[in-house]
A and B are shown apart, each in its own frame.
Chain A
Amino acid sequence: MTFLTLLNREIRAYFLSPVAWIVLFFFLLLTGFNFYAGVAALNRGPSEVTVVEAFFNTIFFWFGFVLVFPIITMRLFSEEYKMGTIEPLMTAPVRDSQVVLAKFCGALVFYIVLWLPSLLYFLVFTWVTRLQAAGAAGPFIGAYAMLLLIGMFYLSVGCLASALTRNQIVAAVMSFSAITLLFFMGLLTFFILNITPGLREMTGYFSALEHMAEASRGFFDTRPVVFYLSLTVFVLFLTFHVFQSRRWRS
């Protein structure tokens, strides 16, 4: 119950601030443009990819994607530290773990809301063109499931960064760097010339690009699922400990 109260407040905090609406607006603009570009490209001639595949594998998509996590998560803990609202919060009978989880889930809800309008694109596409956007249900579900999984992991990284500092900008820079590094780890193969097969395989496990490309093609692989879920839990666990450490750091 306490968790639900906290979660409710976190979600409201997002939608009561102008930042949420600005992020939503520009994110819509970006994904809308991305969708338009995808459809336009397919319009020019026959292609091997579906609209869904095109949508989830462009630079516009990935760029906005990486940027959105620091913006969503930077305020979570930092703002409470800075404004001092952490004091009334933590002197109420709540558990540290409840607070961490509520903040993470609040961010996740906002992240999901951010993606909801994009579902409409594909519905409209199907309705207007009378063509299947994804060819089958699998790639469609796969792409959105991967979006959720990768999102959970990166949001947890953002939570950790925010729990570390009372400065929102610092939190944003930290999580942006970490997420960019993780995200482009898969591209390392392009930079290291004499790469060993083992290393190539290793970076492949980390590569969100590859995971997304496969999922939106309709491949179902349990490895990324386990990978993202376990990392999310691990990073949230770290966040919990960092959050607790404020007691002896003070």
Chain B
Amino acid sequence: MIKVEGLTKKYAGITAIDAISFSVEKGEIVGFLGPNGAGKSTTMRILSCFLPATSGKASVAGFDVATQSREVRSRVGYMPENVALYPEMRVQEYLEYRAALKGIRGRTNRQRVNAVKELCSLRDVESKLIGALSKGYRQRVGLADALLHDPDLLILDEPTIGLDPNQIRQVRQLIKDLGKRHTILLSTHILPEVEMTCSRVLIIDRGRIAASDTPEALAGRVRTAGGVRAEIRADSSALDKELSSLAGVRKSEVQTLEDGWCACTLRTDAEHDPREAVAKLAAERKWPLRELGREQVSLERVFAEITQSGER
């Protein structure tokens, strides 16, 4: 569905994306993962024919984005990062206009508008002015717009940014459902989002593809980069000594909290999970244990890990 070869984009001296190549097959949901400024939006804008590439080739459904741009645009549903809408229009009116612009007229126009309103739960706001909508609703109008012409490929640039947790859940579910019929390329910098929705992940960092993998494999890599944290009430130096001697623990940090408990952070080897050993240790020593779990890994660390391993 998407084929990108050696795509490069330079803005006034800055290289936003640097000769990236990847392809996306029909029916895949591919997550584009990367920190801000990594080149996600730039790539998506090139694929949706909004920006031209400096060099390299990109095609969607066999049509070249540079030379057959209108063919591509009529097959792509694109939702930009900042959904910009005309504030003086009403939701219904806007969707009808957008559908007409995409060549959907007459009775089909009505049908498609109704269908996307249903999909994106926009029924209750259909007669509201767009300028009066909350961010969440505007985001959904943008998504509805992208779906209007039932495109072969959906390009969604951070579709859940600025939404509240409930809405995020709804949108993710929607994306999952859409993935049954459409090919989807979505970008995000939220790791769980990718794990939940995508069948494949492309990690992009400083304009290069750093990794391409399934979310499971990626999650595995992330776990190794993480650690285990526990809160135990004990003497901190004794605790530190015991924890460091557990199998697979590379490094332990023990910090005494104000209420007398100790917060411990353990760095481990990839193949070891020391949680069971920690629980056993606490039980043997009769140390009260009130928390034990994997540490939430920040995305930066994952990136550091992945890009470093890429350089090696």
Q: Within the assembled complex, what's the spacing in Å between the Cα atoms of A95 and B76?
A: 16
A residues within 8 A CB of B287?
A: none
Asked if B101 and A90 make an inter-chain contact with CB atoms under 8 angstroms apart, the answer reads: no
Chain B nearest CB: distance from A118 CB in Å? 27
Render B64-88 as a binary contact track against A, CB cut-off 8 A, 1 for contact. Answer: 0000001001101010101111101
Counting residue pairs across A and B whose Cβ atoms lie within 8 Å, the total is 66
Asked if B52 and A247 make an inter-chain contact with CB atoms under 8 angstroms apart, the answer reads: yes
A residues within 8 A CB of B76?
A: 91
A2 at the interface (CB under 8 A from B): yes
Asked if B89 and A16 make an inter-chain contact with CB atoms under 8 angstroms apart, the answer reads: yes
A residues within 8 A CB of B201?
A: none
Q: Of A12, A87, A93, which is within 8 A of B80 by CB? A: A87
Query: Which residue of chain B has its CB nearest to the CB of A4?
Result: B100
Query: Which residue of chain A has its CB nearest to the CB of B129?
Result: A16
**A91-B49 contact, Cβ under 8 Å, with A1-B105, A2-B101, A5-B100:** yes
Asked if A13 and B86 make an inter-chain contact with CB atoms under 8 angstroms apart, the answer reads: yes
Asked if B102 and A92 make an inter-chain contact with CB atoms under 8 angstroms apart, the answer reads: yes
Asked if A91 and B48 make an inter-chain contact with CB atoms under 8 angstroms apart, the answer reads: yes
A residues within 8 A CB of B100?
A: 1, 5
Asked if B80 and A84 make an inter-chain contact with CB atoms under 8 angstroms apart, the answer reads: yes
Chain B nearest CB: distance from A11 CB in Å? 12
Chain A nearest CB: distance from B45 CB in Å? 8
B57 at the interface (CB under 8 A from A): no
We find that the number of chain B residues with CB closer than 8 angstroms to chain A is: 29
Render A196-214 as a binary contact track against B, CB cut-off 8 A, 1 for contact. Answer: 0000000000000000000
Name B's interface SS: loop
Asked if B88 and A88 make an inter-chain contact with CB atoms under 8 angstroms apart, the answer reads: no
We find that the number of chain A residues with CB closer than 8 angstroms to chain B is: 26
Q: Within the assembled complex, what's the spacing in Å between the Cα atoms of A247 and B45?
A: 11
Q: Within the assembled complex, what's the spacing in Å between the Cα atoms of A94 and B100?
A: 11
Of B11, B97, B105, chain A has the most CB atoms within 10 Å of the CB of B97
Q: Within the assembled complex, what's the spacing in Å between the Cα atoms of A9 and B83?
A: 18
- Near B by CB (< 8 A), chain A positions 91-124 give 91-95
Asked if B50 and A90 make an inter-chain contact with CB atoms under 8 angstroms apart, the answer reads: yes
B145 at the interface (CB under 8 A from A): yes
Asked if A85 and B70 make an inter-chain contact with CB atoms under 8 angstroms apart, the answer reads: no
B103 at the interface (CB under 8 A from A): yes
Chain A nearest CB: distance from B66 CB in Å? 10
Asked if B97 and A250 make an inter-chain contact with CB atoms under 8 angstroms apart, the answer reads: no
Asked if A85 and B86 make an inter-chain contact with CB atoms under 8 angstroms apart, the answer reads: yes
A6 at the interface (CB under 8 A from B): yes
**A95-B70 contact, Cβ under 8 Å, with A16-B89, A85-B86, A90-B50:** yes
Asked if A94 and B88 make an inter-chain contact with CB atoms under 8 angstroms apart, the answer reads: no
- Near A by CB (< 8 A), chain B positions 131-153 give 142, 145
B275 at the interface (CB under 8 A from A): no
Render A235-250 as a binary contact track against B, CB cut-off 8 A, 1 for contact. Answer: 0000000000001101
Chain B nearest CB: distance from A160 CB in Å? 22
A129 at the interface (CB under 8 A from B): no
A83 at the interface (CB under 8 A from B): yes
Chain A nearest CB: distance from B224 CB in Å? 39
Asked if A92 and B88 make an inter-chain contact with CB atoms under 8 angstroms apart, the answer reads: no
A222 at the interface (CB under 8 A from B): no
Query: Which residue of chain A has its CB nearest to the CB of B70?
Result: A93
Chain B nearest CB: distance from A26 CB in Å? 21
B residues within 8 A CB of A6?
A: 101
B247 at the interface (CB under 8 A from A): no
Q: Kindly list the 3 A-B residue pairs having the minimum CB-CB distance in the complex, ordered from nearest.
A: A84-B84, A93-B74, A16-B88
22 contacts between A and B (CB under 8 A): A1-B100, A1-B105, A2-B103, A5-B97, A5-B100, A6-B101, A12-B89, A13-B86, A16-B88, A16-B89, A83-B84, A83-B86, A84-B84, A88-B78, A88-B80, A88-B84, A88-B142, A91-B78, A92-B98, A92-B102, A93-B101, A247-B52
- What residues of chain B have their CB less than 8 Å away from a CB belonging to chain A? 11, 45, 48-52, 70, 73-74, 76, 78, 80, 82-86, 88-89, 97-98, 100-103, 105, 142, 145
